[in-house]
Chain A
Amino acid sequence: MGVKRPIFLFFIIILLAITAVFFVYPKFSTPFDWLAKKLPWKLGLDLVGGTHLIYEIDMNQVAGVDRDSVIAGLRDVIEKRVNLFGVAEPSIVTAKEGDNYRLIVELAGIKDVKEAVNQIGSTPLLEFYETSEVGTSTQFIPTALTGRYLKGSQIDFDQTTGVPQIALQFNDEGAKIFEEITGRNVGKLVCVSIDRQINDNDCATVQEKISGGKAQITGRFTPDEAKRIVSRFNAGALPAPINLISQQLVGASLGQESLKKAIYGGFIGTLAVMVFMIIYYRTRGIFASLALLIYTALTLAILKLFSATMTLSGIAGFILSIGMAVDANVLIFERTKEEIKKGLTKVSAIEEGFKRAWPSIRDSNVSTIITSLILYFFTTSFVKGFALTLLIGVLVSMFSAITITRTMMRVFVKK
């Protein structure tokens, strides 16, 4: 191998590392500012503080084919609700677990969780019922018409009595369903319910088939109530009922404390590893330590580039990978020592050490890679962050321990 190539490679690595540092830690104004701004660190709720809510979606009343559209509608509605109280970048995702449908809402940095939970959960559920008389009692039969077909609503006052009432306007599909329902129920009672409560006043005898998709709910509201319900309807009524089944809240102060401590712990850990390597392996330890620093910058840059959400567990996985990253260097240096004992020159012993240690490096990383892949694909958020950073860490470390350390040693170790 010529002398020029390792020097060339060395400068590329250094350049890459410097770029990575500025990208990861944009403290000074650099040409990479736009990128750093475009891709800021994404911090998990456990580090910035916030709420993680899991809702179960009750799909009992929804036909199988409609479920996807109900989920999409539900997501949109909740998003509108959440935006009403101004959370920066809320995350709302839906998930299917076996036969259950879930809605997962993450709100970063919100103070009044009580209010948030109330607003999300108590968005009124609008349903229409047909009735049939069984003996003396009235049975309510749910219809296909629900809040998901609602286009808008407004508050009205009865011309003569001045009682507030809510005017509903359905979309085209909803209008058609409403037309069918009223068509087949002429002379019978049809009821509208909010949040599963049916009041006598909410039922009306259908006089004739109603087209045009307009309906009214009358007679049970104070003006304030009516106003609140209308504003909620306009943010969207829930197309299916939801149920809060899990809630996690991390106070902002605990989150920031955790972040500070994790970074500090990681810093001390890295320093300790570097000190150990330099004391034990001297010059080679310096190369390994430099490679470790470059490794840290590169891994962080990759994590940031892919917008991986950094959670506490993710940081733990990364710090763990720092401890494991020098393993490859240790394997190589021990091998090099043996080759020197066998009588090889320093330079060829180093080359031989890198070559011979490779199978061990590969083998010893495979088990960690298997573990982190399985953890990533088969578990939940706490673990995913950990698995991802550990996996990326291990992969980068295989590159850094070999390419970076070898390049540096080729450049600096004299024949």
Chain B
Amino acid sequence: MNLIKYRYIFFFISTVLTIVSIAAVFIYGLKPGIDFTGGTLWQIKLTNTDLAQTNADINEKIKNVFENELNVKNATVYPESESQSYLIRIGHISEEQHQQYLTALKNKFGDMEELRYETIGPTIGKELKGKAVWAVILVILGISLYVAYAFRKVSYPVKSWKYGIITLITLFHDVIVSVGALALLGWKFGVELDTKFIVALLVIIGFSVHDTIVVFDRIRENLLLDSGRKDLKEIINDSVRQTFVRSVNTSLTLVLTLLALFFYGPLSLKYFVLLIMTGTIIGTYSSIFIASPSLLFFRNK
């Protein structure tokens, strides 16, 4: 495997991935979840099995009840086939309104079970948003400090801070692609940017960095052992080859558990798991194929 020889192909792939991701965010946008904007998420299951209508039909009818009878605009209703229930999204409502709407729905569709009901006021939403932003800032700060610490020792022929810069560039690459994936999921399946996604993003950040650090540690170790005898290209190639199996196996075990959760785990974690999986795969790819060859650009002349 000669990684350096084909490095431009990988750079090209990553550039395309990044551009596509940014474009996806701009075209489809990110739908903020109710925990950031305030609003109501309501999951109901109709227990009256006499309803012979198809799902889509009931979907429309639920929407109609809200828009025409209850005068609630901007109600969105998604059917959820696996639990045979419906997800309703409306603005923040009071408990009286909740009961009023429930009665209206029961009048129309017969008895139903409330699987989940969440209503979040705008103040709480603002708070959660603030906390999420802080968590992201602090994690990036904490990780950057750690990267600076991990690469504090000066090494030749690549200055230590350059390892740090590349680690962070790789991190942003992984984050941008993951956010792009969310934009696509939002467009296709209505997945929202909520607290769960922020958590997924932070886990991806942690993973991306630790993968890159392991590869870079090996490069520095080999530089100390072989400098003078081999040139930087060869050392990078060797190091990546030596850590390749580890990188792949580690993400593979993580991906295996995530796949199990995706297919067999609870529905509400599905997209959370999918995003961490995307980030894990991208993070592994970038630490091998992007981070290491990038060192060549930063070599001291």
Contacts and interface: CB of A to CB of B under 8 A. Distances in A.
A327 B135 contact: no
A269 B198 CA distance: 23
Given A334-B245, A383-B199, A247 B119 contact: yes
Given A247-B95, A280-B249, A365-B210, A312 B139 contact: no
B260 A374 contact: no
Given A280-B249, A365-B210, A371-B203, A269 B256 contact: yes
A166 B82 CA distance: 55
Contact of B199 (A117, A273, A280, A386): A386
B113 interface: yes
Given A251-B114, A367-B209, A319 B254 contact: no
Name the prevailing secondary structure of the A interface residues.
Answer: helix
A245 B114 CA distance: 20
A262 interface: yes
B210 A363 contact: yes
B266 A244 contact: no
A100 B124 CA distance: 11
Nearest to B248: A330
Contacts of A370: 139, 142-143, 146, 206
B152 to A, nearest CB: 12
A54 B117 CA distance: 14
A323 B253 contact: yes
A370 B119 CA distance: 32
Contacts of A378: 131, 134-135, 138
Interface string B190-219: 000001101100110111011101100100
Given A247-B118, A378-B131, A380-B131, A270 B272 contact: no
Given A319-B261, A338-B242, A368-B206, A380 B128 contact: yes
A372 B146 CA distance: 14
A316 B228 CA distance: 48
Interface in B265-289: 265-269, 272-273, 276
B264 A249 contact: no
A258 to B, nearest CB: 4
A312 B268 contact: yes
B146 A360 contact: no
B135 A374 contact: yes
Interface string A210-248: 000000000000000000000000000000000011111
Given A244-B95, A330-B246, A251 B260 contact: no
Nearest to A331: B246
B259 interface: yes
A104 to B, nearest CB: 11
B94 interface: yes
A249 B246 contact: no
Among B250, B256, B272, the one with the most A-chain Cβ atoms within 10 Å of its Cβ is B256
Given A268-B260, A312-B269, A363-B213, A375 B95 contact: no
A398 interface: no
Interface in B217-267: 217, 242-243, 245-246, 249-250, 252-261, 263-267
A308 to B, nearest CB: 17
A379 B137 CA distance: 13
Contact of B139 (A113, A248, A374, A390): A374
B266 to A, nearest CB: 4
B123 interface: yes
A244 B94 CA distance: 8
A383 B217 contact: no
Contacts of B124: 54, 245-246
Interface string A375-409: 10011101100100010000000000000000000
Nearest to A370: B142
Interface string A241-268: 0001111111101100111011011101
B118 A368 contact: no
Given A272-B257, A371-B206, A382-B195, A316 B269 contact: yes
B132 interface: yes
B214 A251 contact: no
Given A334-B245, A366-B146, A265 B261 contact: yes
A371 B143 contact: yes
Interface in A290-335: 312-313, 316, 319-320, 322-324, 326-327, 330-331, 334
Contacts of B81: none
B113 A251 contact: yes
Given A265-B264, A276-B252, A319-B257, A253 B113 contact: yes
B91 interface: no
B56 interface: no
Given A359-B217, A364-B214, A371-B139, A257 B266 contact: yes
A16 to B, nearest CB: 24
Given A248-B117, A250-B116, A316 B127 contact: no
A76 interface: no
A273 B207 contact: no
Contacts of B132: 379
B118 A249 contact: yes
Contact of A270 (B120, B121, B257, B258): B257
B115 interface: yes
A246 B92 CA distance: 9
Nearest to B211: A364
A305 B300 CA distance: 54
Contacts of B113: 251, 253
B99 interface: yes
Interface in B126-167: 127-128, 131-132, 134-135, 138-139, 142-143, 146, 150
A68 interface: no
Nearest to B120: A246
B258 to A, nearest CB: 7
Given A254-B83, A265-B264, A360-B214, 7 more contacts: A113-B117, A272-B257, A367-B207, A372-B206, A378-B135, A379-B195, A383-B135
Q: 10 closest A-B pairs (Cβ-Cβ)?
A: A265-B265, A269-B257, A269-B260, A323-B257, A245-B121, A323-B254, A371-B206, A364-B210, A258-B266, A268-B260
26 contacts: A98-B127, A100-B123, A246-B118, A247-B119, A249-B117, A251-B115, A254-B83, A262-B261, A262-B265, A262-B269, A265-B263, A268-B264, A272-B259, A313-B199, A319-B261, A320-B276, A334-B242, A334-B245, A363-B217, A364-B210, A365-B210, A367-B213, A370-B139, A375-B199, A379-B195, A383-B199
